[in-house]
Amino acid sequence: MYGFKPRMGNTSKKLAAKCTLLTKEEQKYVAATFRAASKNSEKIREEDLIKYWGPQIDPRLAQYLSNFLFGSGQQKSPTCDFNRFAELYVYNVRGTVEERLAVIYNCLGKDFNEDVELPYQLLKEFCESIASTYIKIVKSSTSKRARVWIEKGFRASASYVQALGEAVAATVGGDLDSPHHHCNAQQLSKWLQSNILLKQLAELVFVNLYGINKRSGDESPTPLPPAPATMLPGSEGLDAMPDYPAFIDLSHIVWINSHLPQKYQHKWRFLFSSHIHGESFSTMAGRIQEQGPSILIIEDNSGFIFGGFATASWAWSPNWTGTDEAFLFTCAPRMRIYPATSYNDHYQYMNHHTKTLPNGMLMGGQLEFGGIWIPAEPFGEGSSSESCSTFRGYRRLSKEPHFRFRSIEVWGVGDKPSLDKDEDERDITRDYEKSRLYNPELHWNICETLRVI
């Protein structure tokens, strides 16, 4: 990982024997990392460890971890032993809530005490440093999964990495958008129990800093080992496009993907981009139907980026579809998630060429007045309502209630659903005959579907 092969010498074996918190496999790697950073010594000096971790770690996180390992203020020690070094890894990767809480307090220069409050600003900077270190690891990775996204133009701008850290920290209080000042131990404990994204980010960061799951002879970090949950999905469908017009960031992908049901997190399938396929509602609808769950992402003319996760395949219908796993989200200027309330089932709707029902795509709220409303005509415009009872904590997603968009794209998530084509065509043909006789508007929609197929 840092120019060092994880092998076990006599010194490493002696070190590993001192810590029973580690598994046998972990002992091998952690002891090897300790030996490399300490230059074969029984203890690590702070400057040697910081130099060893080097560009793979955000400078702020390096200082926070130094506070834990070496102490701070008058209690600061010039060296750290193996047990303390191993504890930092174990507590972050699989520690109890109390152990992880103690690590945060120590990292921020405080002794863990239920009566001691932490300044929210410090906590936010700690989360930002974790997010920043993770993205640094991804950017320097040689894994194919990370390289495809990066080579297709998906960047990792500092402002969006910072926004990802802020979003992780923001859930520590009640109202996500209310100013925080201090956080008590009870709030922090509840936050650590529920904040899956922070745990995943920290786990991947420490797995890499400690060289776990590193192959012998591999000189590069591997941010996506098999054990922890995947943060970046694999991508499908980008290979044929050398100049993909990416407008979302790696941090946005991590943010959205981490909130999807786990069974869909492993892959994003490119379906539609207004820059590539043109500004046509019919074209978009034709490319996203029968593709399973999907993500709609929009950038408005003010630079606000937002969208929604649709749990059902998009299809022409006069009815609402989807399940309560659906959610709306924002990526810029801030990252927020608005999960379903179950107050109603108005998760997704799409229709076209009807006279009695709205024509367009809708997520949440009421017809023509939803969390996201993209009318079929004129394509290129949309609206986001001030309120939406379908999604909890909802606030308007776009800068203005009515907007024009710069970009709109749709990604299928998870594996493409397998369809029995013969049976599917028989069902459509049967619906075609019925609609021709009884419902001219539905007949038009089914003609559109047959044309696409």
Per-residue pLDDT of the chain (453 residues; tens, 9 = 90+): 333 222 333 444 545 444 668 888 888 899 999 999 999 999 999 999 999 998 889 999 999 999 999 998 888 999 999 999 999 999 999 999 999 999 999 999 998 888 899 999 999 999 999 999 999 999 988 888 899 999 999 999 999 999 999 999 999 976 666 667 889 999 999 999 999 999 999 999 999 999 886 554 444 433 333 333 358 999 999 988 878 899 999 999 999 999 999 999 999 999 999 999 999 999 999 999 999 999 999 999 999 999 999 999 999 999 999 999 999 999 999 999 999 998 999 999 999 988 899 999 999 998 877 999 999 999 999 999 999 999 999 999 999 999 999 999 999 999 999 876 554 554 444 444 444 444 444 444 444 444 444
Pairing of strands 349-351, 381-383: unpaired
Structure tokens belonging to residue 129: 């440093």
The closest alpha carbon to 148, from 224, 273, 233, 214, belongs to 233
Which residues share a beta bridge with 369?
366
Cβ(383)–Cβ(359) under 8 Å?
no
DSSP string, 86-113: HHHHHHHHH--HHHHHHHHHHHTT----
pTM for this one? Answer: 0.85
In 10 A of CB 69, how many CB atoms? 20
H/E stretch holding 53 reads helix 46-53
Element (H, E) at 426: helix 421-438
- Each residue's pLDDT tens digit, 242-286: 788 999 999 999 999 999 999 999 999 999 999 999 999 999 999
Task: Please choose, from the candidates 370, 367, 362, the residue with its C-alpha nearest in 3D space to the C-alpha of residue 394.
Answer: 370
Amino acid at 254: V
Q: What is the pLDDT of residue 176?
A: 65
**Closest Cα to residue 7, out of 36, 32, 41?**
32
Name the one residue in this structure whose structure tokens are 């070496």: 70
